[in-house]
Structure formats: structure tokens, C-alpha cells
């Protein structure tokens, strides 16, 4: 991740770099990635100076398969310095 600049420009560059390597498949489980990023955010709170904020952007073409687990992960993450943005693309019922 350090190969990309900070900010929105870095997000766009990282997305563009990953796009050719993406393979779509299911089920669509969000809780593992929410928990993974939450661990980074939790570690950041242990630092003396709160200098990091995490934004998890999930772009999905499917309905969430693990809704209960995802809901629980989001509630737990709500106490941390992070935001979660989920964008649905395609014809699925989001």
C-alpha cells in the first residue's frame, strides 16, 4: 500500500491497479475484511498520538452473505478510528 500516494488519488490508483486482477465469485462475506481492517484501527489506538484513520471501501456486485456477522463486525468497528463505505454495483438487490 505504501506504493500509492495518500488521499483520494492513492485510492483511485490502488483501485486501478487491482481492477485487472479481480475475479468475481461468492459467497459475499464482508465480516472478515471488516474485522481485518478493524484490527489495524485498534492497533492505531494504542499509539500515543492518534495519527491514523482508516477508510474501508468495499465495492461489491453481490448481496452480503454473512449479514449477521457483518452487522456485528460493523458495530464493534464503530468504536474505532475508521469508516466503512460499501458500494453496490450491478443488478443485485442491495
pLDDT, averaged in runs of 10, over the chain (94 residues): 76 86 85 96 85 89 90 96 91 78
Q: What is the per-residue pLDDT for 56?
A: 94
pLDDT of residue 2: 58
pTM above 0.85, yes or no: no
What secondary structure, in 3-state letters, does the chain show?
Answer: CCCCCCHHHHHHHHHHHHHHHCCCCCCCCCHHHHHHHHHHHHHHHCCCCCCCCEEEEEEECCCCCCHHHHHHHHHHHCCCCEEEEEEECCCCCC
Amino acid at each position: 500500500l505504501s506504493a500509492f500516494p495518500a488521499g483520494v488519488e492513492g485510492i483511485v490508483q490502488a483501485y486501478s491497479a487491482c481492477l485487472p486482477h479481480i475475479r468475481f465469485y461468492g459467497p459475499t462475506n464482508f465480516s472478515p475484511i471488516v474485522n481485518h481492517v478493524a484490527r489495524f484501527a485498534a492497533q492505531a489506538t494504542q499509539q500515543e498520538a492518534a495519527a491514523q484513520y482508516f477508510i474501508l471501501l468495499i465495492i461489491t456486485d453481490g448481496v452480503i452473505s454473512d449479514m449477521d456477522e457483518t452487522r456485528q463486525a460493523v458495530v464493534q468497528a464503530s468504536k474505532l478510528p475508521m469508516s466503512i463505505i460499501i458500494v453496490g454495483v450491478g443488478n443485485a438487490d442491495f
